[in-house]
A = this chain, B = another copy of it.
Amino acid sequence: MTFTIKILGAGSATPLKGRHHSAQLVSVNEHKYLIDCGEGTQYRLIEEKLNINKIEVIFISHLHGDHYYGLVGLISTMSLLGRKNQIQVFGPAGLNDIITLNFKISNTVLAFDLFIHELSGTDKQKIYEDNYAVFYSFPLNHGIQSFGYLAEEKPGLLKLVKNKISDLEVEEMVMLKNGKDVLDDQGNIKFAVKSYTLPPEPVRQYAYCSDTIYEESILPYIQEVDLLYHEATYLEEHKEKAIRNNHTTAIEAALIAKKANVKKLMIGHLSSRYEDYEAHLTEAKSVFFNTIPAIEGKSITL
């Protein structure tokens, strides 16, 4: 089963050429989930040759413009492109008012059902589940209601014990992989799940934390994830700006990654004052070596 993250935009609020406002496309077994939708996300999807109407669910972290100004346009375009399937949108309170007002004033009538879920809560909570993935939200600390998201793939099938595969017919393999004992004609166990299978691969997890000040209360929610995206708007020399603006430094993002014992850290949301990731990566790697930059157009496979 594939599990990839495509970076559509990883810049901060002030736009620069080549840096786009926040948006990431999470794919689990080819099912598409969008996290954040800054202005121009629909154009970024087109540039990356991604099918806008394959997106099944949208998660918005918070209602600062650089994380949601592309949402109403994206949903409008879905409708223009003939979408019939429902779409679900999760995000902070206020989302419903914004979408409803825009569509009312522009006389927009969608050809599909739009379900808007305004989140609340001060703890991790399961908010969405389908056959492929489960999504959880948890609170971030950014001076405005803000949520991080945890995407977790559904457990795979049991694995067959390799040297016993030759005993089995195809239908028997399917039953065992799905956790069902194979019975003989008399109803007795012919091949037992516990003897013929091993546990499935561990489920992979991706956590998205943007925007937030350095906030250790999120550590339990992101423990040991395979990949953590954490904003790192500032360098250590501008730490006072990070605190004042409820953002994080590269070193602080790395500290979160280290304390949560994650496998890999991806940093992004750099202030427009920095030309590239070089100094951020140097600082972050001094604390947590397995750090990569979020670069527009790149995909990361878990």
Chain A contacts to B: CB under 8 angstroms: 13-17, 20, 39-40, 42-43, 46-47, 63-66, 69-70, 72-73, 76-77, 80-81, 94, 97-98, 101-102, 105-108, 143-144
Contacts and interface: CB of A to CB of B under 8 A. Distances in A.
A108 B65 contact: yes
A13 B80 contact: yes
A3 to B, nearest CB: 28
14 contacts: A13-B80, A14-B77, A14-B81, A15-B42, A15-B43, A39-B39, A39-B42, A39-B43, A39-B73, A64-B107, A65-B72, A97-B101, A98-B105, A101-B101
A102 B20 CA distance: 20
A231 to B, nearest CB: 16
**Copy total for this chain:** 2
Contact of A15 (B39, B46, B65, B105): B46
A98 B94 contact: no
The 9 closest A-B pairs by CB, nearest first: A94-B105, A39-B73, A69-B73, A40-B40, A14-B80, A65-B76, A63-B105, A63-B106, A17-B46
Contacts of A144: 106-107
A77 B77 CA distance: 24
A108 B63 CA distance: 10
A107 B39 contact: no
A45 to B, nearest CB: 9
A19 B188 CA distance: 67
Nearest to A45: B15
A97 B107 contact: no
A47 B16 CA distance: 9
Contacts of A107: 64, 143-144
A105 B97 contact: yes
Contacts of A40: 39-40, 43
B73 A72 contact: no
A20 B39 CA distance: 13
Nearest to A70: B39
Contacts of A13: 76-77, 80
A65 B98 contact: no
A20 B46 CA distance: 12
Contact of A69 (B20, B63, B66, B72): B72
Contacts of A80: 13-14
Contacts of A101: 97-98, 101
Contacts of A77: 13-15
Contacts of A17: 43, 46-47
Contacts of A39: 39-40, 42-43, 69-70, 73
A116 to B, nearest CB: 14
